[in-house]
Structure 1
Amino acid sequence: MANQTSDLKPVLVWLRRDLRLADNPALHTAVESGKPLILLYIKETNAARETGGASGVWLHHSLTALSKDIELKGGCLVLRSGEAAEILDDIIEQTGADEIHWNRRYEGWARDVDAAIKTDLKNRGIKVESHKANLLIEPWEVETKTGGFYKVFTPFWRAAKSVFTVDEPLSAPEEIKPFAGDLDSDDLADWGLLPTDPDWGSKMMALHSPGEAGAADRLASFLDGPVEDYAEQRDRPDDENGTSRLSPHLAFGEISPRQIWTATKNNYYVSDKFLTEIGWREFSYTLLFYNPQLASENYKSDFDKFEWASDEAKVEAWRHGQTGYPFVDAGMRELWQTGWQHNRVRMVCASFLIKHLLTDWRVGEAWYWDTLLEADPASNAASWQWVAGSGADASPYFRIFNPFSQGEKFDKNGDYVRKYLPELKNLPNKYLNQPWTAPAEVLAKAGVKLGETYPKPVVDHKAARERALAAYKESRA
């Protein structure tokens, strides 16, 4: 194989969080070469952080879908597990490949891996190209007047929109010319991404369609009406069509922000709020790029002296939707059951853990990393730090979401709470978000026994709020 003539040497495409054929610059450039292709996905064993449980389930199904899509184009997807540098070397030695393409990633550890591999391969005469594929604008392309990066979202997004131009998305290749030689490929099932005992993944996936086609269908459905009411409906968790639910597809690169932008821009006046959410994702990646430890260290170092008062029993109650605050509990059960959580509810649940329970934001970030299907390395960390007050452009420390008034405001009919907390389904709306205030006869008629069928509040709202404000003020003194 290695003695093939130069013009037949294969081109290697290393796929990562870009599991799509359309608008994939690395793949597109490789196809344009006219050479045989090797499409490779590596489960990197030296990654700084293991894939979370829920996102592993999504990854399994996304790779399955991608493999089928590649086969329909005439190619095949090679799967390998190990350290990327060693695997790439092995394939290059086995096939004689002298060209490799990948799309850029932005986590600190990943950038270090990519830089080392690129330097080594180039020194050995192998062509290496990295491409912009998963952001509208690179983190270094938007600078303040003093040459730094923006630390507040609104001026960042204003500046970004004035700088970037969004080209038309690239079409999927009509054909993928495969490398003719034999290459070993792992059996995806052997990666153990799917839970078996119990099999909670199957139930979760019944609500989602991983893969490029699923992403396209999700976007089309959203643009076919719901986007027009997005600004008003996006805060209502009881409206299943109020948000796009594209986040897992974006996180795994089954759809690009450029595809979303292009499909949505003609609807600008009714979807500007939606495109701003794409902007927050871009901002989060800028923060991650310049702060590689965003998921493990306070962005604002003065938070390092904050004294947390974690109570593991109460944290466990939060994790499993047993806090006694229905809107919070419904959100945590939605996350556990579906691997997804409504954005308004995310803020309320995060605020409750950090401020009502005075628990380090990293505890929550780690739980969401494991239970969210998307588990985006930038958005997850940036959003948790935003709620905590320790991040860039953070929510003010004195902003503490009221866990029952939020439910009363955004789940007015109680449909969301009743869906995930069926034990409260017979409670009147008046008491649904504060069942501890219901008269005994109302609770009895609804079949609710506080402390038995549904927990009593793990903390008193007023007392918890005052404790949090005092702790935050003390840390700022």
Structure 2
Amino acid sequence: MTSLLWLRQDLRLADQPAYVAAAHDGPVIAIYVLDDHRPGDWAIGGAQRWWLHHSLEALGKALAVKGIALILRRGDAVAEILKVARDVGAKRVHAIRHFEPWWRRAEDELGDKIELCLHDGNHLGPPDAVLTGAGGRFRMFTPFWRALHRQMPPAAPMRAPAQAEGHGGKPAGDALTDWKLLPTKPDWAAAFGKDWMPGEAGARRTLDNFLAEVGDYEKARNLPSVEGSSRLSPHLHFGEISPATVWHRIGNAGSSGEAFLRELGWRDFAANLIDQFPDYGRRNVRDSFDALPWRTGKAADRDFAAWTQGRTGYPIVDAGMRQLWTTGWMHNRVRMIAASFLVKHLLIDWRRGERWFWDTLVDADYGNNSVKVAGTGVDSNMFVRIMAPLTQSEKFDAAGYIREWVPELAGLDDADIHDPWGRGCAPHGYAEPLIGHRQGRERALTAYRDMKS
């Protein structure tokens, strides 16, 4: 029996349960639909489109070796899948379950029209199966992680079938180049290829590289100049490698390995939250924050533009925003600092920053992006916890990182580079601080008190 393999953020063959099940059924046709309508505001951003082009290109070649066609369609995912199923006589669709609200609705709709077999495989475990002792859902990470950890390790990764049967015919599909996913005028992604190798082979290489360094992860992950992160996040987002594969490769690395596995658990926690609160990425779950007086108008717009361009006058924030624009990625510690600066020092609505990150991050993820530093969700982050960028920069030894991404400061020594304006040595042309730390902190706390009154 011919089956369709519906691909979304699961672009791999190894440990791909939907692919294994479809191959067991008989002939397989794989289909990816670029659906920009169902996600609405969450249609994938520019940086993700660059990644998607290269990931689909790699996957198409891997499937071709198996004799399986990858059909590309653009439009409504449900409608296009049903068209292909009708054309080839397929009665069953296999797919990995997703938790984004638009995909949950699409799964429900498709399941009403054709047999849809959903498989778990993009998380360590089904996030909706991690429950409290009373059978409820978790809203805080630490107890969620404890409960998830008790269910670990995940099942051993599945091998890709040694043999798979393709369908004799090939329904019409789009050429990948017709989608124009790659930027051209200008090619703002020109440097992405120096940092990234999208696709399953790239994911394996990145994991292999990280395994050589994971022993230092617990400390190095917070040091931007060392960049002790795994850099697996875009590969995990696009499903080019499974979390179970990562777990089983890293699980024996001692305390640093455990620290990384905890971070891997955040993906499951984020999926757990958006499953409970589908609008988590666009609204304040804590309703009281609807009354917070965010800054608007021309001055706020100028500050927002300066933030996106890395011209805030705070070196670590500027370094992070410039790294983001150049590479499509930002060190995780710096992400928190940059996001906190926008929301609290500049008092600009977190949703504006989220939209910028959505368009510029290669690993932009609805669940992970929605776990906010703003303190407007159900997680334990508090709005009144205001990161001090200058102190954070010095504490986490970001001097080398700043020199790399803010070259106009490269001549400053370690004692001055974190706060050149405060030390009286800012070079000509470097942006003045948009606001002083103490002034920004007090403005944020005043806004918070006004909201609570």
Give TM-score scaled by structure 1 length.
0.91
Select the residue among 403, 415, 418 that pairs with 2:389.
403
Select the residue among 17, 20, 29 that pairs with 2:12.
20
Q: Rate the CA distance shift 1:410–1:165 in 2: closer, same or farther, 3 A.
A: closer
The 2-side partners of 1:396 and 1:181 are apart by 57
Give 1:5's aligned residue: none
Unaligned runs of 5+ in 1: 1-8, 122-126
The 2-side partners of 1:394 and 1:367 are apart by 24
Amino acid at match of 2:404: K
Amino acid at match of 1:116: E
Alignment of 1:245-284 (within 5 A): 245-284=231-270
Give 2:222's aligned residue: 235
Give 2:96's aligned residue: 103
Give per-residue Cα distances to partners, 1:115-160, cap 9 Å, x unaligned: 1110121xxxxx3211001011222201223332111111111011
The 2-side partners of 1:169 and 1:145 are apart by 29
Q: CA deviation at 1:164?
A: 4.7
Select the residue among 275, 285, 295 that pairs with 1:299.
285
Give per-residue Cα distances to partners, 1:330-377, cap 9 Å, x unaligned: 000001110000010001001100000001111111110000001111
The 2-side partners of 1:22 and 1:50 are apart by 27
Contact 1:70 1:176 in 2 (8 A): no
Q: CA deviation at 1:77?
A: 1.0
Select the residue among 342, 360, 377 that pairs with 2:349.
360
The 1-side partners of 2:417 and 2:82 are apart by 60
Give 2:129's aligned residue: 141
Give 2:155's aligned residue: 167
Alignment of 1:92 with 2:70, yes or no, is: no
Give 2:440's aligned residue: 464
Contact 2:33 2:75 in 1 (8 A): yes
Of the structure 1 ranges 48-57 and 424-433, higher mean CA displacement relative to structure 2 is found in 424-433
The 2-side partners of 1:344 and 1:85 are apart by 39
Give per-residue Cα distances to partners, 1:302-334, cap 9 Å, x unaligned: 211111114010011001100011110000000
Select the residue among 323, 332, 339 that pairs with 1:334.
323
Q: Rate the CA distance shift 1:111–1:234 in 2: closer, same or farther, 3 A.
A: same
The 2-side partners of 1:294 and 1:152 are apart by 14
Contact 1:411 1:417 in 2 (8 A): no
Give 2:118's aligned residue: 130
Give TM-score scaled by structure 2 length.
0.96
Q: CA RMSD in A?
A: 1.3
Q: CA deviation at 1:106?
A: 0.4
Q: CA deviation at 1:205?
A: 2.1
Amino acid at match of 2:2: P
Contact 2:36 2:44 in 1 (8 A): no
The 2-side partners of 1:158 and 1:401 are apart by 27
Q: CA deviation at 1:428?
A: 2.4
Percent identity between the two aligned chains: 43
SS in 2 for 1:100: strand
The 2-side partners of 1:182 and 1:128 are apart by 21
Contact 2:69 2:170 in 1 (8 A): no
Q: CA deviation at 1:220?
A: 1.0
Alignment of 1:23-102 (within 5 A): 23-33=15-25, 35-48=26-39, 49-102=42-95
Amino acid at match of 1:392: V
SS in 1 for 2:316: helix
In our comparison, the structure showing a higher alpha carbon Rg is 1
SS in 1 for 2:320: helix
SS in 1 for 2:10: coil
Q: Name segments (4+ residues, structure 1) moved above 6 Å.
A: none
Contact 2:5 2:28 in 1 (8 A): yes
Give per-residue Cα distances to partners, 1:201-256, cap 9 Å, x unaligned: 231122101000110111111112x110111111001013x110000000000011
The 1-side partners of 2:36 and 2:390 are apart by 43
Contact 1:388 1:394 in 2 (8 A): no
Give 1:415's aligned residue: 400
Give 2:415's aligned residue: 430
Aligned pair count reads 448
The 2-side partners of 1:270 and 1:432 are apart by 30
Contact 2:153 2:247 in 1 (8 A): no
The 1-side partners of 2:401 and 2:69 are apart by 43
Unaligned runs of 5+ in 2: none
Q: CA deviation at 1:165?
A: 4.7
Give 1:380's aligned residue: 369
The 2-side partners of 1:44 and 1:425 are apart by 44
